[in-house]
Amino acid sequence: MTEAANMTREFVHYRQLERRLWLIRWRNAGEESVEEDEVLDEMDRTWTQLSEREQAILRTEGPQLLAHGPFGTAAAIRRCPVDSRAGTLAI
């Protein structure tokens, strides 16, 4: 079984929140926003539901989309799933 197969819904949700946060910060050019605060609050709630192992993985790996600076890169946004029906990022 792969490592990904052992991840909980909360872990997957946390990664989705990371992507959403990145997109919000990108749209707002790094300026704080109410939407950003809401996502950060949800990330805090989700973090408390993660196992110690999942928290350790996230600490070790760091945010997937923020690895190339505060606003990410075009390559980072290409890793986000796209909702083909809407033609938008599925975040």
Q: Is 81 left (phi over 0), alpha (psi -120 to 50) or beta?
A: beta
Q: How far is CA 68 from the centre of its chain?
A: 14
Q: What is the pTM of this model?
A: 0.65
Nearest alpha carbon to residue 23 among 66, 68, 83: 66
**Both ends of the chain: CA-CA distance in Å?**
26
User: What pLDDT digit, counting tens, does each position of 3-51 carry?
Assistant: 556 789 999 999 999 999 999 999 999 899 999 999 999 999 999 999 9
The single-letter code of the amino acid at 4 is A
Helix (H, G, I), strand (E, B) or coil at 43: helix
What local confidence, expressed as pLDDT, does residue 65 receive?
57
Locate the domains of the chain by residue range. Answer: 4-89
Burial of 25 (0-12, 13-18, 19+ CB in 10 A): buried
